Amino acid sequence: MRPVIVAANWKMNTTPADAGELAAMIASRTREPDVVRVICPPFVCLAAVRDALAGEDVAVGAQNIHHELYGAYTGEVSAPMLAGLATWAIVGHSERRRDAAETDELIGRKVGRAIDAALRPILCVGEQLAERDAGRAIEVVARQLEGALGGRDPEGLVDGGLVIAYEPVWAIGTGRNARGIDAAEMAAAIRSTVARLGWGDAAAEGLPVLYGGSVTSANMGEFLEEPSIDGALVGGASLKPDEMAGIVGRAGMTARARRAGTEMR
């Protein structure tokens, strides 16, 4: 059974002075043993969040890593630098693609760097509004996956714990909402694509796929009702303990229901 995962992306919010308190509050209000919980604070807050989560079963993730190990890259952070600070890393987020012009090939290098450094990567993919309206959503996401993962050892990606987060960019802050059926269709396309890239059907079926488009406690249930969706990459709502409690609580219900269904087979 695939794990149910809720990853919090705090983006450019919090400071070392308040991040630890927020992380501890969220951890204490989301104790769901059936849900994998990850908090991804800004780089400057990683140590504070790590320390605040000591004794809690909550992982710490980075919001980005550089595609090189070291060098003349002012202001950047490489995967090996995160040793002892994080065990997960987000790569290819839509805001990085937009603001830093990250290409699929570069993002693929980041996936490799993360796995080599024992960081579990969350690879983000998703289409823009014009691409969806043109009926090209599956084509765009398949191209992103092929560009980032094509030619890479499928076994290494599986062993490295790769997770895919589907981000419908057209549903983030636009007033248009994605539906559960939209996310399920794209999750199926994601698994079909990685199977074609050499994973095979069994490994592709075991790939966790998260939903990441304006997730809230109110809409989380709709996405988790889809068997192909395994949790969420949460943005703005992840800064609100009440919202995170509702999101993780709903994820826990889903995880238990899926386990019961598996045990009955």
Confidence of residue 26 (pLDDT cuts 50, 70, 90): very high
| H or E element that contains 187 | helix 180-194
Q: Is 67 a catalytic residue?
A: no
Residue 35 to residues 87, 245, 252, 265, Cα–Cα distance (Å): 16, 12, 6, 22
- What's the pLDDT tens digit per position in 125-181? 999 999 999 999 999 999 999 999 999 999 999 999 999 999 999 988 777 889 999
> How far is it, in rounded angstroms, from Cα 238 to Cα 61?
13
Domain that holds residue 216: 4-264
> Going by C-beta distance under 8 Å and a sequence separation of 6 or more, which residues neighbour residue 101?
none
User: In 3D, which of 52, 2, 51, 62 has the Cα closest to residue 26?
Assistant: 52
Model pTM?
Answer: 0.96
Number of domains in the chain: 1
Residue of 102, 127, 167, 226 marked active site: 167
Averaged pLDDT, 101-107 = 98
Question: Residue 66 catalytic?
Answer: no
- Rounded Cα–Cα distance for residues 241 and 221 (Å): 18
Task: Note the pLDDT tens digit of each residue in 186-212.
Answer: 999 999 999 999 999 999 999 999 999
CATH number of domain containing 45 = 3.20.20.70
pLDDT band at 183 (very low <50, low <70, confident <90, very high): very high
pLDDT class for 264, splitting at 50, 70, 90? Answer: low
Catalytic residue among 32, 66, 67, 93: 93
Q: CB under 8 Å to 84, separation ≥6 — which residues?
A: 50
Using an 8 Å Cβ cutoff, are 93 and 64 in contact? Answer: yes
Nearest to 65 by CA among 86, 94, 37: 86
Q: pLDDT tier at 265 (50, 70, 90 boundaries)?
A: low
Task: Give per-residue pLDDT as tens, 224-234.
Answer: 999 999 999 99
Q: Are 35 and 258 in contact (CB under 8 A)?
A: no
Taking CA atoms, 221 is separated from 89, 117, 193, 251, in Å, by: 25, 34, 26, 8
Estimate to the nearest angstrom the gap between the alpha carbon of 75 and the chain centroid.
Answer: 23
Nearest to 41 by CA among 80, 9, 89, 86: 9
Q: How far apart, in whole angstroms, are the C-alpha atoms of residue 58 and residue 244?
A: 13
